[in-house]
Amino acid sequence: MKNIKTYVGKLVLTGRLNSSVNGNPRFAGYIEVIERAGIHYYTRRVEFQTAPDAMLAYGIENFEGRPVIAEIGRYYGKPTIKTIEEVLK
């Protein structure tokens, strides 16, 4: 995986992708990141999908709608989530 960056924001899953060749689940979604530019704040989406046969796909639904810290990089040219953890308040 290349170009890995860390993002903090709310996790939103947009749907389930076709399962991998081995039958493991895959998901697509985005992190809703709030950024600041001068005195203005704006929201942007950082889209991703889970990697084929990744253990992360089994637990990602537990984080939906919650604030998270996620690492997203490029895997075979597609934005792919590498790690995720919940932001504790």
Enumerate residues 6+ apart whose C-beta is below 8 A from 8. Answer: 33, 67, 68, 69, 70, 87
Give me the domain span that covers residue 23. 2-86
Counting residues of the chain whose pLDDT is more than 90, the rounded percentage is: 89
Provide the domain count of the chain.
1
Q: What is the pLDDT of residue 37?
A: 87
The CATH number of residue 75's host domain is 2.40.50.140
pLDDT above 70 (res 89): no
- Model confidence, pTM: 0.88
Q: Kindly tell me the sign of the dihedral angle through the C-alpha atoms of 55, 14, 73, 20.
A: positive
Q: What is the pLDDT of residue 49?
A: 96
pLDDT above 90 (res 38): no
